[in-house]
Structure 1
């Protein structure tokens, strides 16, 4: 998204986060611009019953959590590392200074935010209308191709759990288990020693 050299020039630090580590929580005051160098991040929140709702997924070169930086408000979601990840963290004041001094980068950030809103509209429609098997496969392919950068014709070990898949696509874990078994019968996935491969 923003060139790494430019981020470093303005004082960004490359920081590592373990799988499951929280970067920020709902209600926190934003302090940094985040850009992923390696790994994957999810933004989520929970309802009153503790059920997780995944808002967005982000992977290499993606940025996230920018809106509160611009509107002087708190985060409305949590951000959590899905796998071990390294990110560039640029303090808010330096981020805003960077945008003022580099209008082309500012435009790129704006376009990125617009694309994200457009993508969310499409995904909201797909999640509400597509069958669970389709959603499971789309999510696995997202992790295979976008997060882990594995070619579509190469074998991929699905590292996220069935429960995590359920949380990410908004279904019960039992539905995910049934979908995976059905997809195996159709030849879309295969299972070896309880491990799922695509």
Structure 2
């Protein structure tokens, strides 16, 4: 968890609940709040011209999202959408910025968190530059598994649907489905009750 509940409540946090696919904020909206996921997952999305959705990032329980926009007041270039039933801490942006400016420990904590996010963003950009669909998915699975500190074969359940994998990897849904089946046949993944284990 980036910041404890105690700290967030001291800054005037409220806990908001969101249903699956409910919009938290939209592309073009000005940043007014600090958001931290208490329960669930949030995706940052951009609508493509062909009507599909690109997933630019995902934040899970304990993680914050879109916090850097509070420091330059530029409009969000994406939507934030609940991936499942979510509870999210929402702190008034000005109070959060004052807190970070005046507390060296919190600033360092935020820097470290953002450094890790930037690292994984570059790793994901490298993943997206791979032309072979199987190698692209394997690299994504490898990165996710390492992020969650899993090492045993088939010990990590991929936390995304095939549609979400399509949106993350910029592959067509049909390509993801076909590739995952091929990976299962080659014993690179296991499918249990429709879930992918790597």
Per the alignment, do residues 113 and 167 of structure 1 end up closer, same or farther by CA in structure 2, a change over 3 Å counting?
same
- Match status 1:181 vs 2:173: no
Aligned-partner Cα distance in 2 for 1:82–1:120: 19
Q: Could you tell me how far apart the structure 2 residues matched to 1:21 and 1:66 are?
A: 19
* 1:58 maps onto 2:39 in alignment: no
**Which runs of 5 or more residues in structure 1 are unaligned?**
none
Distance in 2 (alpha carbons) for counterparts of 1:117 and 1:192? 32
Structure 2 matches for 1:1-198, cutoff 5 A?
1-129=2-130, 131-137=132-138, 139=140, 160-191=160-191, 195-198=194-197
Would you say the 8 A contact 2:24–2:80 is kept in 1? yes
Q: Is the 8 A contact 1:155 1:197 kept in 2?
A: no
TM-score by length of 1: 0.84
Q: SS at the partner of 2:124?
A: helix
Which piece of structure 1 moves more, 13-22 or 125-134?
125-134
Aligned pair count? 196
Q: CA RMSD in A?
A: 2.8
Residue ranges of structure 2 left out of the alignment (5+ in a row): none
Please report how far the alpha carbon of residue 191 of structure 1 lies from its aligned counterpart in structure 2 after TM superposition. Answer: 4.2
User: What SS does the aligned partner of 1:94 have?
Assistant: helix
